[in-house]
Amino acid sequence: MGRAWIVRQLTGHTSTRSYTCPGCTHQIAPGNAHVVVWPDDGLGGVDDRRHWHHACWKARDQGRYGR
Ligand SMILES: [Zn+2]
């Protein structure tokens, strides 16, 4: 089922930026717990990282967002 992803859980305590979640296209506010993921193919770098809400990443896993 597509690419493998490395997933890291962030508590949000250290996040000072807001990110746009690719799942719902809403903002993840600074300080909010979320997950950061990137492709496990050795090709991507930091630029390939994506920040998701926990719920959106889980929903993606279950196929709600395609792929
Ligand atoms: Zn989201």
Whether residue 52 lies inside any domain: the answer is yes
User: Is residue 57 situated within a structural domain?
Assistant: yes
- Å from CA of 5 to ligand 1 middle: 17
Residue 48 resides in a domain: yes
- pLDDT, average across residues 2-11: 85
* pLDDT for res 64: 54
Residue 35 Cα, ligand 1 centroid: separation in angstroms? 10
Is 66 part of a structural domain of the chain? no
Q: Is residue 67 part of a domain?
A: no
Ligand 1 centroid to Cα of residue 24, in Å, is 4
- Domain count for the chain, please give it: 1
User: Is position 12 within any domain?
Assistant: yes
Dist. CA 60 → ligand 1 center (Å): 10
Distance set, CA 21 to CA 7, 42 (Å)? 14, 23
Which residue in 49, 11, 47 sits closest to 30, CA to CA?
Answer: 11
CA–CA dist 62, 32 (Å, integer): 23
Instruction: Tell me the pLDDT band of 5, cut-offs 50, 70 and 90.
Output: confident
**pLDDT value at residue 22:** 94
pLDDT digits (tens, 9 = 90+) for 16-60: 889 999 999 999 999 999 999 988 877 766 678 899 999 999 998
Full domain range(s) for residue 54:
5-61
Is the backbone of residue 8 left (phi > 0), alpha (psi -120 to 50) or beta?
A: beta
For the entire predicted model, the pTM comes to: 0.77
